[in-house]
Each structure stands twice: as structure tokens, then as C-alpha cells.
Amino acid sequence: MTKHVHRPLRAVVALTACSAFLAGCGSSEGYNLTKPPFGGNPACGTLTGKVPDELGGHRKEESGVAGAVAWGEEGDIILYCGMPEPKAGDDCRTEGGVDWAAQKPADDRTAKMFATQGRNPAVQVRFRSKDADASAVLSALAPAVKDIKATSKGCGAGN
């Protein structure tokens, strides 16, 4: 009888260990990045090579995805270069000399999202936390983003 009790117990222990292993190894970064539509644009390669190693209190993580950079182990801040330019909304702002339009979050893990205005290819920045200092982050990214030539007046263009 003891033999039958141990068999189910072993199965429960094994199942628990496998679940814990898979939960921890499903994605060590806690996020998935996809290549932006125009992420292979040479301007994106230049930009991703010039972004800061630290941003918003988070270290840059290696993504291995052309046109995409993430900061923080959980993808706290994600930059996509090579996005189509969005239309300007009511919340268009200039940070560090670059025009950014607020966008509706792309998914349930994104609290805030902005995209450049008047630059091609466009750059999109996603924030996981609603408390993130978007102004400081967008300003810190501006020197790298400015290398992408402005194609229009951005926020002032009335898209």
C-alpha cells in the first residue's frame, strides 16, 4: 500500500518541479520582442548602437532583434525603431528636441507608449509602468533619435 501512496506523491512532486522550471525558463527576460516592420533600416542599426546603457534606472538587455532594444529584466522600457509613422494625437510633445506623440498602449503589458513624429523610420517607446518618467526617458533617447532625419515638422505639422 505504501508503494501506491508514494507513486502519486512522486508524480505531484515531479509535476510541481517541472512547472516551476518551465515558469522560470519560459522567457528569462519576462517579455518578447518582435522585429519592427522596418527594423532592418540602416538608420535603426545606427540608433540601436547609440542608445544609453542605462535608461530610467534600468540596464540595457541584449535583445538579438533588429531594431529593438529593451531596458530592465522585465522589459520595463522597450524601444522599437522601424515603425510606421503614426498620426499625431492631442498629446504631442517635444522632449530633447524630438517630437513624440502619445499612443494607445499596444498590449496589456504596456502602460504608456510614444512614437516619434516627423521622422522616418519612426521610433516607438513602450513603458511597462504608468509611473515611469516618460519625459526623462524620451529626453535621454533624443540624442540617438536625432540621427534619424526629420522629414516633417512633427508635432507642429498638424498630422
How do residues 105-152 score in pLDDT, each as one tens digit? 988 999 999 999 999 999 999 999 999 999 999 999 999 999 998 888
User: What is the SS3 assignment for 145-157?
Assistant: HCCCCECCCHHHH
- Residue 5, pLDDT score: 45
Report domain extents, the chain. 1-29, 42-157
What one-character DSSP code corresponds to residue 119? B
Confidence of residue 7 (pLDDT cuts 50, 70, 90): very low
CA distance 92 to 88: 6
Instruction: Reply yes or no on whether the pLDDT at 30 is more than 60.
Output: no
Q: Report DSSP letters for 28-84, one per residue.
A: TTS------TTTTSHHHHHHHHHS-SEETTEEEE---STTEEEETTTTSEEEEEEEP
